[in-house]
Structure 1
Amino acid sequence: MSRYISISIVFGLLLITSCKEKKTEPLPEQPKETTTPEPPKKVLSPHTSTMTMIGDAHIHIDYSSPGVRDRIIFGGLLAYDQVWQAGAHMATWIETNKDLVINNKILPAGKYGFFTIPSKEEWTIVFNSNWNQHGKDEYDEKEDVVRFKVRPVISDEVTEHLEYQINKVNEKEGTISLSWEKVSIKFNFKVNQ
Structure 2
Amino acid sequence: MKKTSIIATMAFGIMMVCTSNANAQKFPGLDKSPMDMAAYPNDYKDANKTARIIYGRPQLKGRALSELTPTGKLWRTGANEAPEITFYKDVKLGKTTIKAGSYSLFTIPEKDSYTIIINKDINVSGSSTYKEANDVARLKVPVTEGDEALEAFSMVFTKGDTGIILNLGWDKVRVAVPFTE
Class of the TM-score when normalised by the shorter of the 2 chains: 0.7 to 0.9
Is 2:93–2:138's contact at 8 Å kept on the other side of the alignment? no
Aligned to 1:143: 134
After superposition, what is the alpha-carbon deviation per residue over 1:82-118, rounded to whole angstroms, capped at 9, x for unaligned? 1001010011110011100121210111111100000
Q: Which is strand-richer, 1 or 2?
A: 2
Q: TM-score, normalised by structure 1?
A: 0.71
Q: Which is helix-richer, 1 or 2?
A: 2
Aligned to 1:104: 95
1:169 and 1:148, CA in 2 relative to 1: closer, same or farther beyond 3 A? closer
Aligned to 1:179: 169
| 2: CA distance, partners of 1:58 / 1:118 | 26
Q: Where do residues 130-169 of structure 1 align in structure 2 (5 Å cutoff)?
A: 130-169=121-160
Q: TM-score, normalised by structure 2?
A: 0.76
Give 3-state SS (helix, strand or coil) of 1:142's partner: helix
TM-fit CA distance, 1:57: 4.6
Q: Where do residues 33-112 of structure 1 align in structure 2 (5 Å cutoff)?
A: 43-53=31-41, 56-73=48-65, 75-112=66-103
How many residues are aligned here?
150
TM-fit CA distance, 1:173: 1.5
TM-fit CA distance, 1:121: 1.9
Unaligned stretches of 5+ residues in structure 2: 1-27
| 2: CA distance, partners of 1:175 / 1:90 | 22
Structure 2 letter corresponding to 1:61: I
| 1: CA distance, partners of 2:49 / 2:37 | 17
Q: Where do residues 6-45 of structure 1 align in structure 2 (5 Å cutoff)?
A: 43-45=31-33
Unaligned stretches of 5+ residues in structure 1: 1-39
After superposition, what is the alpha-carbon deviation per residue over 1:14-50, rounded to whole angstroms, capped at 9, x for unaligned? xxxxxxxxxxxxxxxxxxxxxxxxxx96642111101
| 2: CA distance, partners of 1:141 / 1:112 | 13
Identity of aligned residues (%): 29
1:188 and 1:78, CA in 2 relative to 1: closer, same or farther beyond 3 A? closer
Aligned to 2:16: none
TM-fit CA distance, 1:78: 2.4
| 2: CA distance, partners of 1:95 / 1:103 | 17
Structure with greater Cα Rg:
1
Aligned to 2:180: 190
| 2: CA distance, partners of 1:121 / 1:68 | 20
Structure 1 letter corresponding to 2:179: F
